[in-house]
Structure 1
């Protein structure tokens, strides 16, 4: 990141969140973003300070980091009326008084911010930190020893002069003041701090405190809703999204690709785009459709084949459709519809595709090319996929580089390798049994000391008995139905589907029809892109070979807590040798 320069201010976050209801903050955001005087600046918006000096949480509306000048913490009071009586501040129609006032509020927050930064990086101690208050809708000419007149930007100055120039003047005045201040012997007027590199360091330290993403898994249960912080790697990915109209995000399972794809859809919707959000897998598509329901109608979330059926527009008897129909006939019918009946209904400003490795067939891509303004070569799209281990549906392209080359497309490839889903021991088992090369660069989850469990059976009845014992054990440990998913490499006749023992035969259902109280089972292939706390992998008859390696890898990486494997006893030696070889 060092050496990066920006033509205008780099805004973090890059757009205003929907919950920002202040028109004043929105206007200031736009003016800072679009002002040519803000070249190389970094502007942080709505920074929550978890370790505020006097409150449980504090807020700075804007932190403006200006190279060679300093850091300005801005408090915005976007009220239409303002008064101060008996030391109390009143804003607009709010009758509740504020004893601190905006200048004291900004000062306390600024000192908390500076303290945090200097504790982390003592070399930032000579950087100038100052405060200002903006009143975009009222005049303010009150004088006080609590603030300097040049720390105020009121309605008159806000409307008459570029905001960037006024911020420079405030920081220049602050530097002149510090030069004459006897208590500021640390300050040198000719200092050029913060340098560009220091500006980036400051923003990197502060950024995790305020740029969040919703954990969409908890959307249907608002009482348990939580915020998930981005990894440092994902911060860079978000920046790459903003600056590239076409980009591929490639990474193994558990690196946050789906989370980023959802965020890409949300940002595109906020930008006013008509978005097509696709995936290949039916179960993943159902889940994505649920968690992005609040993005409708701007965002259409759907599986590739369901979307083709909508475009084709004819009634289809699914029971009469074979594999050839889905792979050859349907794409052809949908392409013909777009060519010969182009009414714009199915033409999109942006296409986002999760699990993109599964759509790399020529006819699928031809369909997407016709669905996107500018086509794949010139239009706006984001592809998220595991192009190393999860391309199990026979794509036409052997790798992402070949896709870009043969399609004549310019698109950077951004690699994600930090695992933020699995525990270290589960991730390690996935690397071993999945023959994963290269391995994860880092595992974020702490080690819970729980090893993946492997049990070996000699016949199917014994496997069923083991599965029932495992389900009983997990239930006793506190796992409920929706926490447990049973996966198998075979779609029909799996161990879970054959259980006839009560009460378990009534508690286990196919995953696509089971509700929260039941334990779901499905094939490994069908569960791609999803996750669950406890994953039980059954019917393992083989370990060697690319197909089995990939299926093992996919199944193992679905778990967020526990993994239990049921394998045929004849593969015991091979599994043991793989584990020993990896540990030696």
Structure 2
């Protein structure tokens, strides 16, 4: 059967039944059946179609026209099927005959040696008895309800070809037909099928496939907007959920809605790279939308510039918030608070002194103002000094806080999501993963030395470039700082020139960053390097952040010393990796 399964959108119940009977027949092992064969060069029309073309070795080729109606009427205007009001001037027998002649003419132009093969046509009427004689058709050309129900369909088809052969053998005008010539061989039957419906394989390009996947991610994320609608009546909401549940895009949508309502909105996050991207996204909204990292905004309030790169943690966590509060209270009493506050990466900003600043920035303060907070309070509080119970701290300042839990993954593929659950320690797991399975496994590759890791790393990049990934679609993440990571020490060209820190890379270059710095962002293809152990909550949480950045492709490079950690993690979930010869697990 070509195709092997009937098209799901086939509207004809009769065609479905004919297809099923032919497919399920046990007495037709060498038959070839083409369903819904388009005819580009039709003898009467611009194009046409044959419902079924049945190719039978030793018998011939039969074109079937199926009319699955419970009422057929013919008058001087033509044929009327079922409740149709527009008559068909040709009728089913001529329709089948023209399809057959079109197919035969095309075939013998390319294969003159097949001109002697028997071609004929018939009409299948599975729901009505049709006993009307006519000079326009032979009664044995009809497979009506009586024949359809009382005998196997292959038997009826063979009977049509048998009668056609007998008719042509005695028909003086059919001089082209010679019953004495060899009948259709199995090899010729395959050649006819190949000529009529040639086999070919055309692959979806990697770029088209990734574009389709990206649109899927965007569509599934936008489905999460229903959570914003559900909480619209609440002035203050904390949205919580693990990585991949669409928090950042929900924050963006919240900010856009606030802007469209005429509100002055402050939209802040923690990470510098995420803040830069958010500023680009929100720039078209104009001056009433202020988008920044939290600390950059505090610098602008305090009017100070940190000196040098080695600024202490205490400056960011203690001194800078104090200066910002001083500027708001003492030096700028005319400061106009914002109407709405949107915070992404809330898990990193729920600190008492940070909340003091935010309270002054919002009309009505945190207790009475309008705000939306988005954060992963389970696994992404990866910075030292994070508050153990940030929700309790927030409730102390604001009273009862409505919480909305996001548990549906709309970013990662199902296989990456499974890896997040098994190795990233996500518990409870996602309630659902919206994206369909793309059939691509995340790869886990082990190395024993720095040189071996670099060799594997470059092989991965070479492979992804070969698949059509551009440099701008690939991100390399490491638990180490940029200057000590694998990517920073690659010396081999052209990869050395193609690799750049995220903060410096242009659109076509491969970006690399620490896992900390890339939190909140995502990329089509992610390589995670320098994984030397997977023990302790901090290491597991960092690993979780890294692997959830990948949209489509994920490869993780792990030192041999961490192999026991990987096995223990999987064993704890009831699965042990089946390591193949390349050191990759079959999940």
Q: Report the alpha carbon displacement of residue 283 of structure 1 after superposing the two structures with TM.
A: 0.2
Match of 2:351 in 1: 361
Residue matched to 1:498? 489
Q: Which residue is 1:281 aligned to?
A: 271
Structure-1-length-normalised TM-score? 0.60
SS of the residue 2:484 aligns to: coil
The 1-side partners of 2:217 and 2:552 are apart by 19
- 3-state SS in 2 of match to 1:242: coil
Give 1:573 shift.
Answer: 2.6
Partners of 1:301 and 1:232 in 2: CA distance: 21
Contact 1:359 1:395 in 2 (8 A): no
**Residues of 2 paired with 1:317 and 1:323: CA distance?**
13
Counterpart contact for 1:357–1:395, Cα < 8 Å: no
Deviations 1:184-243 (A, max 9, x none): xxxxxxxxxxxxxxxxxxxxxxxxxxxxxxxxxxxxx9xx98994456972441123411
Q: Does 1:347 align with 2:337?
A: yes
2:533 matched to which residue of 1? 542
Structure 1 505/229 Cα, relative in aligned 2: closer, same or farther at 3 Å? closer
From the superposition, tell whether residues 450 and 315 of structure 1 become closer, same or farther in structure 2 (CA, over 3 Å).
closer
RMSD: 2.0
1:438 and 1:378, CA in 2 relative to 1: closer, same or farther beyond 3 A? same
Change (3 A) 1:229 1:562: closer
1:298-350 alpha-carbon deviations (Å, 9 max, x no partner): 11000001000000013442436222211111111111111112344452111
Q: Secondary structure at the match of 2:358?
A: helix
Deviations 1:485-521 (A, max 9, x none): 0000011310001111111111100011101110000
Residue matched to 1:516: 507
Counterpart mapping for 1:245-394 below 5 A: 245-319=235-309, 321-345=311-335, 347-394=337-384
Q: Does 1:424 align with 2:414?
A: yes
Change (3 A) 1:543 1:501: same
Aligned to 1:509, the other structure's residue is in SS state strand
- Cα distance in structure 2, aligned partners of 1:474 and 1:226: 21
Moved more, 398-407 or 419-428: 398-407
Partner in structure 2 of residue 207 of structure 1:
none
Taking the aligned partners of 1:394 and 1:550, their CA distance within structure 2 comes to 12
In the other structure, the counterpart of 1:558 is 549
Alpha carbons 2:395, 2:401 under 8 Å: kept: no
Q: Distance in 2 between matches of 1:582 and 1:259?
A: 31
C-alpha change, 1:230 and 1:508, in structure 2 (3 Å) is closer
Shift of 1:574: 2.4
For the Cα contact (< 8 Å) 1:233–1:416, is it kept in 2? no
Instruction: State the partner residue of 1:433.
Output: 423
Counterpart check, 1:471 vs 2:461? yes
Larger radius of gyration: 2
Change in 2 beyond 3 A, CA 1:335/1:434:
same
The yes-or-no answer on 1:529 pairing with 2:543 is no
For residues 247 and 485 of structure 1, do their structure 2 counterparts lie closer, same or farther at Cα, with a shift above 3 Å needed? same
Q: Tell me which of 567, 570, 573 is aligned to 1:579.
A: 570
**Per-residue deviation at 1:408?**
4.1
1:232-273 deviation line (CA, Å, top 9, x unaligned): 972441123411111000000010111110010011011111
3-state secondary structure, aligned to 2:391 = helix
Q: For the Cα contact (< 8 Å) 1:534–1:562, is it kept in 2? A: yes
1:447 and 2:437 correspond: yes
Question: Does the CA contact (< 8 Å) of 1:309 and 1:330 recur in 2?
Answer: yes
Q: 1:226 to 1:436 in 2, by over 3 A?
A: closer
Cα pair distance change 1:331/1:422, threshold 3 Å: same
Long gaps (5+) in structure 2: 1-210, 576-587
Gaps of 5+ in 1: 1-220
SS at match of 2:493: coil
Gap change, CA 1:382 and 1:311, over 3 Å in 2: same
Instruction: Name the counterpart of 1:239.
Output: 229
Alpha-carbon distance, 1:401 to partner: 3.0
Secondary structure, aligned partner of 1:307: helix
TM-score calculated relative to the size of structure 2: 0.59
Asked if the contact 1:482/1:520 (under 8 Å) is kept, the reply is: yes
Residue by residue over 1:421-452, the C-alpha shift from the partner in whole angstroms, topping out at 9 and shown as x without a partner, is 00001011011111111110000111111111
Does residue 1:456 correspond to 2:446, yes or no?
A: yes
Partners of 1:462 and 1:332 lie apart in 2 by 49
Residue 407 of structure 1: how far off its partner (Å): 1.9
